[in-house]
Amino acid sequence: MTEMNENPLDLLPEVLLAASAVLGLLLGSWLPRARQWAVGLLAVLACVAGIVAASVAATEPAITAFGDAFAIDPITSTSRIVVLGGTLLVLALTFGPLRGDPRESEFYVLLQLAALGALMMAGAQDLLLLAAAYLLASIPAYTLAGFRKDGPGTEAALKYYVIGALLGVLLLTGITILFAAGRATGYPVLGDAFRDAPKALLATGATGLLAGVLFKAGGVPAHFWVPDAVQGSSPPVAALLTTVPKIGALAALFRLGEAVFADSTLPWPALISVLAAASMTLGNLGAFFQQDVKRLLAYSTISQVGYLLMPVAVAGRSDLAQQALLYYLAAYTVTNLGAFAVVCALPRAQTLDSYRGLAKERPLLAASLVICLLGLVGTPPTAVFLGKLEAFSAAFDGGYAWLAALAAANTVASLFYYLRWIVPAVSGSGAPLPVDGDGDRTARVVAYAATAVSIGLGLAGGPVLDALAP
């Protein structure tokens, strides 16, 4: 970071998203029900403009804004593009199911606010801003989880909210303790203060802070909400919950490890590596015998958090850590959203057996599903393959060869439950697949586009990784 200023234009992607949410809320109050789609179109324009602004900012030197509280650097720029791109795909998945809904505009507004919270988490360099971003990312998501107001949705929202409120209190408590230990909330100051801080006080505060951020990431031990919330919410919301908040949370964890705890008396890398190992292992174990497709993807996302935590564990210890995390985040986001797009395209196919014969009924959709699921395993030439390879290399380079070996074993084991879904999908026998008419057209387009981007990002991995290097 080379300079500091307080120019709101430095936060142009965030400003555009916030302005679109506020304006969309007002428009939703005036527009007739048949024209609520205009609020969604406004959200799409805000995301596209935000991606353009973030791309332009990525070419400029790294700076900070508003008293060093917010950083505009490669981590923030990449997170902006990935979050806004993921939000665009989720918006596309919602247009069909929400068309004419009496609360259509409210959904688009809540979705933008949740994405805005993830953006703020990614760029936060102050504990107070991180806490505010956590709340902004969480509260709209609680509402979205129960948006359908049915039994499963209400249960999902309640479990999501209760665990989020509890861990949010722990996060605020941890921030308070860390403030007492470092006499500041800004990351640069805390990084210097924690070199000599009392170890017990530092460990207590870091535990509370870590609990809250891991809740947004969906990692162990704050993962209990993920399967129930994802299964009970609508498919587009499930796609959102398993992607967008994780980007901001993992970027925030990377900053904390690199700028705050790297030189402290706390064994931060060892702690993160243990949580990474637990997340990838328990996520895989939970997914092995699942029958519900959304629940399987929920456990899959827990295991993916474990792999994503590998470069976080070696932040400041390996030169490969930053580019590995950022590339993997982009690869996981598009591949996971591609898998969920297939689920959205077949809303009545809720179990693995329901997908039997998909290759016969919808061959392109079956191909997208197979590519995305094998992509989540880490099969070349998909982007996740290169992302995992970079994460493994960063772990080796940072002195955690055991973690890379465990991740490789978990990757092989994960193939089992993905094949349990792939095999029925490519099988030509079984009951007729419950497909809809034209109502799934947009979701199918999203699935095809996400699959193409996953493969394209994998093939163009070299130049992209070079651009993400510190």
pLDDT tens digits for range 98-154: 887 888 999 999 999 999 999 999 999 999 999 999 999 999 999 999 998 888 889
The residues, any chain, with a CB within 8 Å of residue 236's CB and separated by 6 or more, are: 90, 93, 94, 97, 340, 344
Which tokens belong to 14?
Answer: 């965030």
| Angle, alpha carbons 192-198-202 (nearest 5°) | 75
Residue 221: is it exposed, middle or buried by C-beta count within 10 angstroms (0-12/13-18/19+)?
middle
**pLDDT for the residue numbered 5:** 66
**pLDDT for the residue numbered 100:** 79
Position 174 pLDDT exceeds 90: yes
Q: What is the pLDDT of residues 450-464, one digit of tens each?
A: 999 999 999 998 899
Position 57 pLDDT exceeds 80: yes
**pLDDT for the residue numbered 1:** 41
**What residue type is 164 in one-letter code?**
G
Instruction: State mean pLDDT over 368-393.
Output: 96
Nearest-angstrom CA–CA distance, 138 and 249: 11
Position 8 pLDDT exceeds 50: yes
Phi-psi region of 281 (alpha: psi -120 to 50; beta: other; left: phi over 0): alpha
Instruction: State mean pLDDT over 290-296.
Output: 96
Instruction: State mean pLDDT over 9-32.
Output: 92
Nearest-angstrom CA–CA distance, 372 and 447: 9
**What residue type is 438 in one-letter code?**
D
Looking at residue 72, what DSSP letter applies? E
**pLDDT for the residue numbered 430:** 56
Residues 278-283: contacts with CB within 8 Å, 24+ apart? 278/220, 278/221, 278/306, 279/219, 279/220, 279/223, 279/303, 279/305, 279/306, 279/309, 280/304, 280/305, 280/306, 280/307, 280/406, 280/407, 280/410, 281/306, 281/406, 281/410, 282/220, 282/223, 283/220, 283/223
Among 226-230, 304-308, 376-380, 435-439, name the one with the lowest average pLDDT: 435-439
On whether the CB atoms of residues 58 and 305 are closer than 8 A, the answer is no
User: How far from chain centre, in Å, is Cα 44?
Assistant: 19
Global pTM?
Answer: 0.95
**pLDDT for the residue numbered 50:** 97
Position 263 pLDDT exceeds 90: no
Nearest-angstrom CA–CA distance, 70 and 60: 16
